[in-house]
């Protein structure tokens, strides 16, 4: 009990008078002044205990929050950064692979167009010209060659389409990674919210510092409630990816 010297002296005086009354055989009940003094002292004691408990609780909460923030800064954020870099790498690799397959498929489709034209010419020749045996043999050989080329190009087209589908399988993996990063961001948001709740008054007293804008921010996809990126933004994004 943290009482002042005057309070202690007064308490000793009350106790001395009570002891004299007890020695004289008077009532054992404590004097009203002594009871009141002890009650006031007890109230002050409990107030100090409550204040100490609040400070201890605040210190434990801040320690736990500091530990969370230390873990977030030391482990969570670097892990999220590495995961997002992995997602970017997989997305970029899949984009390049898909574009290469599209170029290869475009060549195969051009061969289909040329073969269709040659077959049309051959059909017109059969319909309008009287062909001898040698001409028939040459035309038959040409048709067999076209059939072989069509099968070859069809195989290329089928293979490229399968490879395109395989190249998009990265989205399953990146989707899981992005979901985990979202959970990490939510944890950071909760920790920062608790930090602001614990130190909000102190932060307001310091005033608001302006947040500098990023000089070169890549445009992202259109989101509900936000203006969509224009063609210039899309071209800038493709240029940044090397397309």
Mean pLDDT of the chain: 70
Round to whole Å and give the CA distance between 5 and 47: 19
pLDDT of residue 127: 75
CA torsion, ordered 145, 148, 153, 158, to nearest 10 deg? 160
How many percent of the chain have pLDDT more than 90? 0
Residue 63: inside a domain, yes or no?
no
Per the model's pLDDT, the better-predicted residue between 122 and 18 turns out to be: 122
- Domain annotation covers residue 12: no
Min mean pLDDT across 16-25, 90-99, 107-116 is at: 16-25
Q: Residue 23: its pLDDT value, please? A: 62
What pLDDT does residue 72 have?
A: 64
Rounded to whole angstroms, the Cα distance separating 118 from 130 reads 19
pTM: 0.44
Asked whether residue 13 is domain-assigned, the answer is: no
Q: What total of structural domains would you count in the chain?
A: 1
Tell me the pLDDT tens digit for each residue of 48-65. 545 665 665 565 555 565
CATH number of the domain to which 152 belongs: 1.10.287.500
Report the pLDDT averaged over residues 221-232.
51
Q: Would the pLDDT of 135 be above 70?
A: yes
Question: What is the rounded average pLDDT of the residues 152-167?
Answer: 88
User: What is the structure's pLDDT at 90?
Assistant: 86
**DSSP per-residue letters across 168-212:** TTHHHHHHHHHHHHHHHHHHHHHHHHHHHHHHHHHHHHH-PPPPP
Q: Does residue 158 form part of some domain?
A: yes
User: Which carries the bigger pLDDT value, residue 216 or residue 126?
Assistant: 126
Which domain, by its residues, includes 114?
A: 82-193
Environment class of 219 (CB within 10 Å of its CB; exposed 0-12, middle 13-18, buried 19+): middle
The model's pLDDT over 137-147, given as tens digits with 9 standing for 90+, comes to 888 888 888 88
Is residue 139, in this structure, part of any structural domain at all? yes
Residue 126 lies in a domain: yes
Identify whether 118 is part of a domain.
yes
Nearest-CA neighbor of 97 among 155, 162, 172?
162
Mean pLDDT of 71-76: 66
50 domain residue, yes or no: no
Residue 67 pLDDT level (bands cut at 50, 70, 90): low
Q: Higher pLDDT residue, 211 or 114?
A: 114
Task: Supply the Cα-derived Rg of the chain in whole angstroms.
Answer: 43
Give the 3-state DSSP-derived string for 220-235, with helices as H, strands as E and coil as C.
CCCCCCCCCCCHHHHH
Give the span between the Cα atoms of 118 and 15, in whole angstroms.
124
177-193 residue pLDDT tens = 888 888 877 877 777 77
SS3 173: helix
pLDDT of residue 223: 44
> For residues 13, 19, 23 and 25, what is the CA-based torsion angle, rounded to 10 degrees?
110
Please compute the mean of the pLDDT values over residues 134-158 and round it to a whole number. Answer: 86
């Amino acid at each position: 009990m943290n009482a002042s010297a005057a309070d202690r002296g007064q308490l000793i005086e009350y106790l001395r008078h009570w002891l004299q009354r007890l020695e004289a055989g008077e009532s054992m009940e404590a004097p009203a002044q002594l009871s009141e003094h002890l009650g006031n002292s007890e109230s002050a004691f409990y107030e100090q205990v409550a204040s100490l408990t609040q400070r201890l609780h605040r210190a434990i909460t801040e320690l736990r929050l500091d530990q969370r923030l230390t873990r977030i800064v030391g482990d969570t954020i670097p892990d999220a950064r590495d995961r997002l870099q992995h997602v970017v790498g997989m997305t970029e690799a899949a984009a390049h692979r898909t574009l290469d397959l599209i170029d290869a498929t475009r060549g195969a489709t051009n061969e289909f167009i040329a073969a269709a034209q040659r077959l049309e010419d051959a059909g017109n020749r059969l319909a309008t010209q009287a062909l001898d045996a040698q001409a028939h043999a040459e035309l038959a050989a040409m048709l067999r060659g076209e059939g072989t080329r069509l099968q070859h190009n069809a195989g290329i087209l089928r293979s490229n389409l399968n490879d395109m589908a395989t190249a998009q399988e990265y989205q399953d993996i990146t989707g899981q990674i992005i979901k985990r990063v979202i959970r990490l961001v939510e944890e950071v948001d909760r920790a920062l919210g608790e930090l602001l709740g614990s130190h909000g008054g102190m932060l307001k007293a310091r005033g608001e510092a302006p947040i500098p804008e990023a000089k070169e921010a890549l445009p992202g996809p259109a989101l509900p409630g936000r203006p969509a990126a224009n063609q210039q933004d899309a071209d800038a994004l493709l240029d940044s990816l090397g397309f």
